[in-house]
Each structure stands twice: as structure tokens, then as C-alpha cells.
Amino acid sequence: MAALQTASKHMRAPRQAASKGSRRELARALVGALALAGLVACGSGGAPNVAAPRPQSGPESTQSNEPARAKRHMIAAANPLAAEAGLEILREGGSALDAAIAAQMVLNLVEPQSSGIGGGGFLVHFSEASGDIVAYDGRETAPATATPDRFVDANGEAMPFFDAVVGGLSVGVPGLLRMLEAAHRNHGKLPWRRLFEPAIGLAENGFSISARLHTSIAADTHLGTFDAARAYFFTPAGEAKAAGTTLVNRPFAETLRTIAEEGAGAFYAGEIARDIVRTVRGAARHPSDMTEDDLAAYEAKARAPLCLPYRFWLVCGMPPPTSGAIATLQTLGILQEFDLGALKPDSARAVHLIAEASRLAFADRDTFVADSDFVPVPVAALLDPRYLVERAKAISPDRSMGRAAPGDVLAQSGLAAGAESERGISTTHLSVVDAGGNTLALTSSIEGTFGSRLMVRGFLLNNQLTDFSFLPERDGAPVANRVEGGKRPRSSMAPTIVFDGSGRPVLVVGSPGGPSIIGFVVKTLIGVLDWGRNIQEAVAAAHFVNRNGATDLELGTPIEALKPELEALGHEVTLRVLSSGLHAIAITEDGLLGGADPRREGRALGD
């Protein structure tokens, strides 16, 4: 418990004793689960080989799909300036966590549409020295006075999605800084204040607006209607500032300097907190009920990671309030019943099986997963290998099952599945491995592009509360993910670390993408673990996603060609832009291999 004993008073200790995994527990869990070979098919009838093969650079590497390479340390993040800030910290002897904080603060500045201190996130951290893995929850909370009808209109209908997004009502109490501060107490090496210097320097001296940021500003019809955002992102003539324009953000530099000197407490009480509350309560559209007490009461939480064996590996991720790991692990657990390695990568047969497994996982996710501090989430039942073997029996290799139903065993819960809206895709993911072998995955978010569009002191406030189900009931049954005061909205973020049979991390990955995150992460894991792709190839490979509806194939990629074959198997197929931002690191015998999503502007950098 050493790591947790040093946690701040704002980090509530988890309830169960098994609050974190240890290397020994992980290895034991893997060996134990593999020993149940009849239950968890691992492909061989004999004694399982727990000395798992480590992911290798695949034979089919091409120049453009070459991973970044390093021996000592590496960071993969969504913007080159952020990756550089992280690398600077790693070179100074900073820990993975130190590098993540420095990179995150730069991302807040240079990729403001996606994440920042006005939002929240989830962080999975593996400590090499202790073998501990801790899942940190910095998810936003609803104000204490929030009620289930928050997003219900006067006619009892769900508010139109974007109507709810923009303005004060959607803003959750930000959790990112409390989470990073708590993690820094446990895993930081360099002083907290040092980690803010790269972002403060860039905010004061200016940075160049990237092509992606420009496109996001230009495409947004709401941003320019808010004074603070208009003044910062638009020219006086009302045009989106061009790519390449130098942007200076003195208020943000000032905010960061205060937090650097005084700690996260300076954000949660005092002038910054007052300004946040004044901004959301005074919003011209949908004023919020958030109070300074809500900010002062915010707690990040250390939670037990969720881990499940997948063939030779143990895959670990973030428990509720995100559905990320539950759905990822369920999909993989179901797919263990099929020998994906024997199928041609990205073939119709393989995509069919993965889509069907994903349907089953989404049927459970939609019904049962929400903030487990408010709703009993049957996590153990959902991840029971015997249950997943049963679920796998619903999959036919020749015919799609169509819409999947939630599992029978669980159907007694009396819960109804909440509806999920299509949304603007934002969020960011970074992965880090330091010279000491500490490994972390951080996915953070202000939810939609530019969040609520409300800006205060140089940063944007999230719209994370629109991740709640807008309707609290369906057909008279309560929806698990309904709004409640103090509750955290269900997420899909899936920061993930994969371990080999001896408990060593071999892969770290995550992505933005809303509910499609789960499909992006599953595709990347299967690419490396089953198909031997190198990490860059696995990240870049065309996406296919099923959220228990149509099978989405990534528009403009070779995978579109599968449409007729999948339709012949009974899938409804849509071709869609699937905007991921996968940033991943494979830890191999040849050193660290980094993958940065070609769909974004990121880099993997290391030495």
C-alpha cells in the first residue's frame, strides 16, 4: 500500500484491499487463468507457455510504417511540442509521470480543442521498482445539486445533443489536476513546478497554430459566439486564425504559474475556482449550478486496475466510471475462443469475428456500466472467463447475429441501456516509458472539440456531463448512467498496459474517439499480439468498429473493400471517418518502439 499511503488527502483510498495489482499478483493471475485452459482457450492443449513472446517488429514493415526507436525512454503524444516537452523532462532524469505532466500542460496549450486542466482524464501507471499498477481516476463530477432531469427538456424529451453541449450545464468539475498531483506525489521525481515550465514558456513566447487546430477552429460554429474564445481563436475580422499564426496565451501562462507555485489547490479554491464558477453560472446559454464547494470537494481516486488474460498476455486498464477496459477486455476475452492468428489480418472473416465480439461487449456496456460509486456495476461477472466463453457461443463464423442483447445472467438487474449521442471527437492520449521502466498510459479529455466553448483564464472548460444518458429512464427502467449529483459520467476512454507472463509491461496504448476508442484499442492490440504487426503498423492500420449496430469501416482506406463480403455475412456496413489518435509504445527485446497515429499530428520521441 506504500504508493497509496503517500496519496494526498484529496485522493480517496480505494475500498478494497486489492486496490492495485502487483507484478507478482499479475503473473499469478495470468498463470492461474491460463491453467484453466479449458475455460480460457490459449491455443495449445499442453502446458501454457507463460514466458510469452514479446511483440516484435513485423516482417511486413514498410518505410512509412517504421516505428520510432529508442533504448532508454520514450514518449508518444498527439503534438510534437508536447512530445518534445516530455522528452526534455525524461532527459533530465524525470519519471514517466513527470514527462506526462509536462506533455499534458503543453497539449492543453497547443491542442486546446482536446484536453486540459478544464477537463478530466484517466491514468494507468506501472511502477517498475514495486511492480504496482495503479489506475488513477480524474474524471469530472456533476455538481452536487445536479438531478437526473438535467438534460431533459420541458416536454420530457432529451435535449438536442449540441444544445446541451454548449454553455454552462455540460461542464463537470474538472479532475485532471487533482489526479496528476496525486500521481506525482506517488511517482514524480522532478519538482512539480519544473513540469510546468515548458508550457509556460510556450504560452508566453507563442506557438504556431497547427493545421489540425486551425481546421477545428474553422469548422466550429459555436466557438466564435463566446467572447473569450472569439478573441483568442479568431481574427478581429472574425476569421479562424490561420495555421502557422503565432498564438500567445498570457492568461494561461499566469494560471499555470500559480498552479506550479502553489499546487493544484490553487485551482480548486481561490481566484481560479471563483472565476470558473462565475463563468459557468454566468453562461448566457444554460447557466450551471456549480459552486465553489463543488470544486473544493473534488477528489481524484486511486482504483484497482482491471486485468484479464488474453492468450499469452495480461491486459490491464481502467475500471468504471469508464467502460473502456470492461469493453476492451470483454471483446478480447470473447475472441480468445477464436484463433485470430490463423486468419489473414484485416480479412472479412477476422473483421466479422471482432465486430461480433464487440457487439456483445457493447450490449453489456450500454446496460451495466456507469459510475460504480453510484450504481453497482457487476464487474466480476462481466469479466468472468466462463461468462465470456458462454458469450462467445453466440458468434457464428458465417452469419452476423445482428443486434446483440446484454448477457442473460445479468439481465435481472432491471437496468435499461442508455442512449448515446454522436458527437464531435476530441480527447488526447499519451504513452510514456522512462529509463527506469515505469510505464504509463494517460487519456485525457474536455469531451467534445473545444468542450463547452467556455474559456476562463486561458483554458477551455469541458462538456463532459453530456457523457451521461440524457434520459434517466427507458421504458420505466432506470438507466445506470443517469445524471446524479457528484456522479462521474460514463466514459469510453481506455488507457491500457499489456504485460507478459512474467509481469513485465510489453505494450502501452490508448486513443481518443468516444465509444469508438474501444474498437481502436482492440484493433491495435490484435494487430500487435495476434498479427505480429509492429506498433506503428498496428496504429496506422485501417479501423473497423462495431458498437452493437452497423459495422463501421474507415472511409478512404483499403478496408472499405470488405463491404460486400461483410454484407454477405449479414452486417449492415457504413463507411465513416474514424478519427482516432492512438499513441503507443511497444517494449521489445530490440528496445522501445513507438507508434504515432498518422490521422493526427503526434510523434513518438525517445533516446
> Which amino acids are annotated catalytic?
427
Does residue 444 belong to the site contacting ligand GLU (CB under 6 A)?
no
Toward ligand GLU, which CB reaches closer, 26 or 483?
483
Toward ligand GLU, which CB reaches closer, 352 or 429?
429
Q: Which of 467, 500, 530, 597 is the binder for ligand GLU (CB under 6 A)?
A: 467
Which backbone phi and psi does 592 adopt, to 5 degrees?
Answer: -90, 130
417 to 436, contacts with ligand GLU by CB under 6 A? 425-427
Question: What's the min distance (Å) between Cβ of 222 and ligand GLU?
Answer: 16
Question: What's the min distance (Å) between Cβ of 104 and ligand GLU?
Answer: 15
Residues near 221 by beta carbon (within 8 Å), at least 6 away in sequence: none
Q: Which of 367, 445, 469, 536 is the binder for ligand GLU (CB under 6 A)?
A: 445
Toward ligand GLU, which CB reaches closer, 332 or 518?
518
DSSP 3-state assignment of 444?
strand
d(CA 151, CA 465): 9
Toward ligand GLU, which CB reaches closer, 382 or 517?
517
Question: What's the min distance (Å) between Cβ of 425 and ligand GLU?
Answer: 4
Which backbone phi and psi does 563 adopt, to 5 degrees?
Answer: -50, -55
Toward ligand GLU, which CB reaches closer, 249 or 464?
464
Toward ligand GLU, which CB reaches closer, 425 or 432?
425
487 to 526, contacts with ligand GLU by CB under 6 A? 491-493, 512-514, 517
Give the binding range for ligand GLU (CB under 6 A) out of 170-178, 198-206, 469-477, 486-494.
Answer: 486-494
8 Å CB contact between 187 and 7? no
Name the nearest CA neighbour of 322 among 136, 548, 497. Answer: 136
If you write DSSP's letter for every residue of 251-283 in order, what string do you get?
Answer: HHHHHHHHHHHH-THHHHSSHHHHHHHHHHHT-
DSSP 3-state assignment of 30?
helix
Burial 53-88 (b: 16+ CB within 10 A, else e): ebbebbeeeeeebebbebeebbbbbbbbbbbbbbbb
152 to 171, contacts with ligand GLU by CB under 6 A? none
Which backbone phi and psi does 35 adopt, to 5 degrees?
Answer: -65, -20
Question: What's the min distance (Å) between Cβ of 493 and ligand GLU?
Answer: 5
Toward ligand GLU, which CB reaches closer, 186 or 322?
322
Question: What's the min distance (Å) between Cβ of 273 and ligand GLU?
Answer: 23
Q: How many CB atoms lie within 10 A of CB 383?
A: 18
Toward ligand GLU, which CB reaches closer, 424 or 505?
424
- Size of site (CB under 6 A) for ligand GLU: 14
Which backbone phi and psi does 78 adopt, to 5 degrees?
Answer: -80, 0
Distances (CA, A) of 499 to 21, 50, 314, 383, 388: 12, 11, 5, 18, 21
Q: How many CB atoms lie within 10 A of CB 399?
A: 13
Distances (CA, A) of 438 to 184, 255, 607: 13, 29, 15
Q: Which of 299, 364, 447, 601 is the binder for ligand GLU (CB under 6 A)?
A: 447
Which backbone phi and psi does 181 adopt, to 5 degrees?
Answer: -65, -45
Toward ligand GLU, which CB reaches closer, 146 or 259?
146
Toward ligand GLU, which CB reaches closer, 84 or 137?
137
8 Å CB contact between 539 and 525? no
Cell of 606: 525517445
Question: What's the min distance (Å) between Cβ of 452 and ligand GLU?
Answer: 12
d(CA 518, CA 363): 13
Torsion of CA 55, 59, 62, 65, to 10 degrees: -10
Question: What's the min distance (Å) between Cβ of 170 and ligand GLU?
Answer: 11
Question: What's the min distance (Å) between Cβ of 474 and ligand GLU?
Answer: 20
Question: What's the min distance (Å) between Cβ of 464 and ligand GLU?
Answer: 6
Give the burial class of 234: count Cβ atoms within 10 A of its Cβ; 0-12 exposed, 13-18 middle, 19 or more buried. Answer: middle
Question: What's the min distance (Å) between Cβ of 137 and ligand GLU?
Answer: 12
Distances (CA, A) of 72 to 253, 503, 606: 31, 20, 7
Cell of 11: 485522493
Q: Which helix (H) or strand (E) holds 466?
A: none
Question: What's the min distance (Å) between Cβ of 324 and ligand GLU?
Answer: 7
- HEC letters along 355-411: HHHHHHHHHHHHHHCCCCCCCCCCHHHHCCHHHHHHHHCCCCCCCCCCCCCCCHHHH
Toward ligand GLU, which CB reaches closer, 439 or 464?
464
x/- track of binding to ligand GLU for residues 265-304 (CB under 6 A): ----------------------------------------
Task: Provide the residue type at 120 as one letter.
Answer: G
Task: By CB under 6 A, name the binding residues for ligand GLU.
Answer: 425-427, 445, 447, 464, 467, 491-493, 512-514, 517
